[in-house]
Structure 1
Amino acid sequence: MTVLTMGVEEEFLLVDRDSRRPVGRAPAVIAAAARELGERVQTEFFTAQVEGCTEPVDGTAALRGQLARLRRTLSAAAAAAGCLLVATGTPVVPPSRPLTVTDTDRYRRMARRFAALVSPYDGLVCGCHVHIGSFDRAGALALAGHMRPWLPAVQSLTGNSPFALGRDTGFDSWRFKEFGRWPTVGPAPLLGEAQHEAYVSELVEHRILMDRAMVYWYARPSEHVPTLEIRVADTNADLDTVVLVAALVRGLAASLLEEAAAGRPPPQVPEQRLRRAHELAAAQGLAGCGLDPLSGDRLPADALVERLRARAAPGLEAAGDRELVDELLRRLRREGSGAARQRAVLRRHGRLTDVVDALAATTAAA
């Protein structure tokens, strides 16, 4: 079985060291970190965000090493700029002054075109994107279609944004709701290459999207590298969670690749059911109830994760990741998701600033 490469993009939040509120110091942080990381550190939509990108790797040890280096370097650069690097899907403590859009031509045009979606005080979200393999567009689209029913279970592992505007939202992943306001966010439609080209061109032509890079499907052919990009996860402070998700996604992709490459049709899942499965995964996470998109059954989310693990097993075995994934899943079940850990800190200390401090410490400890 093919062992696919994998890479990760992580978006991080910058918060003031004293107030723990989002602060727009990305230019200074990126300038300092880029001396070591080069183009592996990049801007994001708001100046209170930075992004770290790994190179493609073959193994989980190499992936962990790159992620740890990115986080250490960015944390040090943030500290030098008087702020903290925080891996969370949404800000725990709301900003005290309006957020600033990063000063690039594309981001300025996005802010003008979609002004109703760009709030000066909320809407800041940080995601973790996993890139798999090396595919042409047709191959990536075919594999995305086969992976669709399994992505809610992946999402249930990664909720790390329970707080927004200083309040508990009731969701494990409030990022899911915030980011979902943008056009095209959701499950990928089942399209061949020619259909995809016509559909995306029409979205741009009719000004639903500003450009092709604004296709925000949960599984999409990347526009800047020849990969399949999976976009369902919150950024997580716990590095083990990131490695777990990347290994699971790669194992699943490898296990489904033969069916996709042979031209077998992907499962026909009702769109409404698939969206409901994602919403339950975002709301309740690993500890709650989920929905199996294939059968329509309501099941414990953990049971759906076990089905995902079983489906990914051939790819995990081929890559030598089975034992690691099993151990990391046991640890996640024992210690709880990122959202559960954030809430546990608040219960112990009663202050949202302590939640931010715990997230920053975990992020830097990588």
Structure 2
Amino acid sequence: MDAAVGGTTISEALAAEAESQELFTLGVEEEYLLFDATEPRATETVDDVLAEIPAALRESVQHEYLRSQIEVASPPQLELSGLHAAMRDLRAEVSAAAERAGARLLAVGTGPAAGPVARLVDTPRYHRMRERFGDLSPGQGLCGTHVHVSIDDAECGVHVLNHLRPWLPILQAATANSPFFGGRDTGYASWRSVMWERWPTVGPTPYLESHDQYLTLVSDLEASGAMLDEGMLYWYARLSARYPTVEIRMGDVMPGLDDTMLLAALTRALVATLVSDVRDGVPAPRVPDPLLVAAHWRAAHDGLEGVNIDMATREPRPAWRLMRQLFDYVRPELERHGDLDTATVLMGRLRSRGTGAARQRAVLAQQGNVADVVDWLARATRGDE
């Protein structure tokens, strides 16, 4: 639920290179489910899988909340190609480790097939969370994608969070990858989002006047009992508690790396664009919280295959039109970071293939069995689809 980016800090050389070119580094965390090698059911094999991870990658792989989950985190990267290589290797190695442990790795937001509720990983913190919050995360686990973008000024970072608010629903829609839960279609593109929102600190980041107010809210939320520590600040965008980054964390984990890389590229370009706006004194839009909640609900329900809310006009629009609007808005920073050509190709692939949710439903329509969806997810996670 909260992890270091690659378990390491950015190197001095990489930081100096980024600073000299006024570029932003980025890192990605992905959470996965562990399923049986042959049956469509989750398995509590995380310790067995971790024992199979090569020593060179061990710092980048760790437990998650439940024994049927595992998490990876890339080292910070300046080049999108470097991020892709790091995540490709992590997915391949963890998939292979899972197979040696008699399991399969699934990049999916919730358990698509029916099965028993998984037990907690045996750590004091997770037991405290279960004692305090009860059974807020039933099933086999909830798996998301988090993108970290470097920012060296916390005050600027807080104002970037304000500017991010109207853009995050459409990014959430693009990540939708959990239509099935317990063997049935939920009617949502991202059922993980619906389940995740039951935690008391999950939701849109509030509009914040300053970093001091941010810290005060963190302290007040801890005192209220709504979270144990700053790591449980589950706003859709936050300042990392451990690293000088803005962390965007509202999306499902996605089946293939193409969509993850597109999210990373767009997120970095968006943060870079908004940093310029903050420095230029451009005020953040004061989007009403109920409208933001409605837009995030729409993202969870429709994904990119339906509609969402244009925050400028407050009118429903085709979600793909809003996705294109976001792409055009951040195009200059995509180009400045050397990501424009790659992001253009990846946008085209997402448009033609659809979100993970749409692709899962297409597999079910063709094959007629959730077990076939699980098989497809395992192949897609390994990079075979």
**Shorter chain as normaliser: what TM range?**
over 0.9
- The worse-fitting range, judged by mean Cα deviation, of 354-363 and 190-199 is 190-199
Map of 2:17 onto structure 1: none
User: After the TM superposition, which residues 1-366 of structure 1 pair with which residues of structure 2 at under 5 Å, given as runs?
Assistant: 2-95=22-115, 97-119=116-138, 122=139, 124-191=141-208, 192-365=210-383
Shift of 1:215: 0.4
Residues of 2 paired with 1:109 and 1:260: CA distance? Answer: 39
Residues of 1 paired with 2:117 and 2:294: CA distance? Answer: 33
Shift of 1:327: 1.3
Residues of 2 paired with 1:143 and 1:56: CA distance? Answer: 20
Q: Which string of whole-angstrom CA distances, capped at 9 and with x for unpartnered residues, describes residues 14-45 of structure 1?
A: 00112221111111111221523021001100
Q: Which string of whole-angstrom CA distances, capped at 9 and with x for unpartnered residues, describes residues 215-267 of structure 1?
A: 00111001122110001211111110000000011111111111223454311
Shift of 1:112: 0.7
Q: Which string of whole-angstrom CA distances, capped at 9 and with x for unpartnered residues, describes residues 265-287 of structure 1?
A: 31110111111111111111111
Paired AA for residue 85 in structure 1: L
Equivalences, count: 363
Q: Secondary structure at the match of 2:204?
A: coil
- The worse-fitting range, judged by mean Cα deviation, of 256-265 and 67-76 is 256-265
Shift of 1:320: 1.5
- Is the 8 Å Cα contact of residues 135 and 228 (structure 1) preserved in structure 2? no
Residues of 1 paired with 2:65 and 2:109: CA distance? Answer: 14
Shift of 1:118: 4.0
When normalised by structure 1's length, the TM-score is 0.96
- The worse-fitting range, judged by mean Cα deviation, of 306-315 and 71-80 is 306-315
Paired AA for residue 368 in structure 2: G
- Is the 8 Å Cα contact of residues 30 and 41 (structure 1) preserved in structure 2? yes
Residues of 1 paired with 2:135 and 2:299: CA distance? Answer: 27
Residues of 2 paired with 1:298 and 1:123: CA distance? Answer: 34
When normalised by structure 2's length, the TM-score is 0.91
Kindly report structure 1 stretches of 4+ aligned residues shifted beyond 4 Å: none
Q: Which string of whole-angstrom CA distances, capped at 9 and with x for unpartnered residues, describes residues 81-132 of structure 1?
A: 100000000011122x33110111111100111114243xx27210000000
Residues of 1 paired with 2:381 and 2:314: CA distance? Answer: 37
Q: Secondary structure at the match of 1:149?
A: coil
Q: Secondary structure at the match of 1:21?
A: coil
- Is the 8 Å Cα contact of residues 7 and 132 (structure 1) preserved in structure 2? yes
* CA-atom RMSD in angstroms: 1.4
Shift of 1:137: 2.7
Paired AA for residue 131 in structure 1: H
Residues of 1 paired with 2:45 and 2:311: CA distance? Answer: 42
Residues of 2 paired with 1:286 and 1:234: CA distance? Answer: 13
Paired AA for residue 172 in structure 1: A
- The worse-fitting range, judged by mean Cα deviation, of 320-329 and 77-86 is 320-329
Q: Secondary structure at the match of 1:187?
A: coil
Q: Which string of whole-angstrom CA distances, capped at 9 and with x for unpartnered residues, describes residues 161-203 of structure 1?
A: 0001111011111111010100111111122111111111111
Residues of 1 paired with 2:58 and 2:32: CA distance? Answer: 17
Q: Secondary structure at the match of 2:164?
A: helix
Identity, % of aligned positions: 41
